[in-house]
Amino acid sequence: MNILTFDIEEWYLEKRDCGNRPDRIALFDRYLNQILDLLDEQRLKATFFCVGGMASDFPHVLKLIDGRGHEIGCHSYRHTWLNKMPHGEVLQDTREAVDGLEQCIGKKILSYRAPAFSIGKSNAWAFEILAQCGIERDASVFPAARDFGGFPDFGHKNPVMIHHQGVMIKEFPICTTSILGKELAYSGGGYFRFFPFWFVKREISHSSYAMCYFHIGDLLPGASRMMSRTEYEDYFKEAGTLLNRYKRHLKSNIGKNSAWPKLEKTIHAFDFINIDQADSMIDWKSVPSVHLAQDP
């Protein structure tokens, strides 16, 4: 089972943080159309996790994706890490996002992905909020350590049913592979840009479950500039030291010039489905149940 997803936030972040430059908006539109055309050619459907702010600021993007027959999922409202927000802010953010997306496309939003996979052991209460807001399927768990948290103790790399404080959520975690004893992702983001195509193809081919995830920004050729201290601290909510900013700059730009051709090869090499299709194919009574510890 190979699942194809895209995280859609670039338009909103460009308007909010980068001056709303018409040429950048046009570039995002062009790459989105290329993606949709490629999926049509292969007769594939994907899940597009969109920030709620897109519904008011760039509704044409959501309506275009929905009109081409793809699933719209929720990617928060403002693209702020959930582990950087208290309970009340996460609830408000999720409610606003889900409502805005539903009002825009006129359909129920059932799937969710947290920005930067920012649901982990310390804020597992977020699953209660998702259920409260009508979310039935989540794709936020990164079952390994990473810069912004991850969930290394999760213990599963395949779909499972999460139980927490009386709610149940169908979880589609990111897939990882073991390299020199360390669990690493390979099928999206900077990991996909870093690893050669032969490695990605081998890992997907050898796995019964692969979750691929991409951003428009991952696919644009050319390097982006390094953030200022203020920009970094406003966005990442941590110290904007030169070292932190330089590390983020390298990770954000590695492999960008070859990312689009690699994505094309990947989509041509495999059959993909979206999360809605995957949900209907899984016998949820037979998958493992994960009972997360109650909040202290």
The pLDDT tens digits for 28-82 are: 999 999 999 999 999 999 999 999 999 999 999 999 999 999 999 999 999 988 9
**d(C-alpha 10, C-alpha 13), whole Å:** 5
Identify the CATH homologous superfamily for domain 2-222+256-291: Glycoside hydrolase/deacetylase (3.20.20.370)
Contacts (Cβ under 8 Å, ≥6 apart) of 147: none
**d(C-alpha 112, C-alpha 94), whole Å:** 9
Give how far Cα 120 sits from Cα of 58, 84, 126, Å.
30, 12, 9
DSSP structure class, residue 6: E
Note the pLDDT of residue 96.
97
Picking from 4, 13, 104, the residue whose alpha carbon sits closest to that of residue 61 is 104
The pLDDT tens digits for 108-157 are: 999 999 999 999 988 999 999 999 999 999 999 999 887 766 888 898 99
Owner of token pair 């990164």: 142
What's the pLDDT band for 255 if we cut at 50, 70, 90?
Answer: low
The pTM of the full predicted model, rounded to 2 decimals, is 0.89
What's the pLDDT band for 165 if we cut at 50, 70, 90?
Answer: confident
The rounded Cα 17 to chain-centroid distance in angstroms is: 20
Picking from 101, 178, 173, the residue whose alpha carbon sits closest to that of residue 140 is 173
